[in-house]
Amino acid sequence: MKPRFRRAPRRPQEDDNILPLINVVFLLVIFFLLAGRIGVESSDVVPPISKNEDLPAPSEPTLLVYGDGRFALDGRFLGDEALREALAGVGSDGLSRGWQIRAAADAEADRVLTAMTLLRDAGIESARLATVRTGP
């Protein structure tokens, strides 16, 4: 038995059915565009939770400190001496505008201090330590 509609059934128009879908998908795209942040995110390195409110400066070179104490720069794992060599001269050629250290919350604090010491030896006196507002 056919259901009774007040209007006559319209000619099937696949475009009409798909338009609301596109609307929703466009909204989702816009949402992710505005709410998300595109960038190199290492899910292995979860920064410590802190109540501080300072926003991170954008596009700073980032030094990663993993939970097991390894350093990584530009996607490469580096030992202490290799990092010292990689950083050599960075501070003198005008690139010392600011560095970010993204260290795992469970890393030894002493390793982070070592990283900062290595940065200082390269001429970078202060750095920003990445934190998060809430846990993962």
Partner 1 sequence: MLNRSWSSRPRRRSLVSLTPLIDVVFNLLLFFMLASSFTDLRSIRLDAPVEAGASDGERQGCVVEVAGTEVRVLGRTVPEEELVARVTAALVGRAEGVILLRPVEGASLQRLVSILDRLAAGGVGRVVLHQERTP
Tell me: does residue 93 bind partner 1 (CB under 8 A).
no
> What whole-number distance in Å separates Cα of residue 75 and Cα of residue 78?
9
Minimum distance from residue 5 beta carbon to partner 1 (Å):
14
| Residue (39 or 94) nearer to partner 1, CB | 39
> What whole-number distance in Å separates Cα of residue 130 and Cα of residue 29?
28
Give the interface with partner 1 as residue ranges (CB under 8 A).
Answer: 10, 13, 15, 18, 21-22, 25-26, 28-29, 32-33, 35-39, 41, 47-57, 65, 100-101, 103-110, 112-114, 116-117, 119-120, 124-134, 136
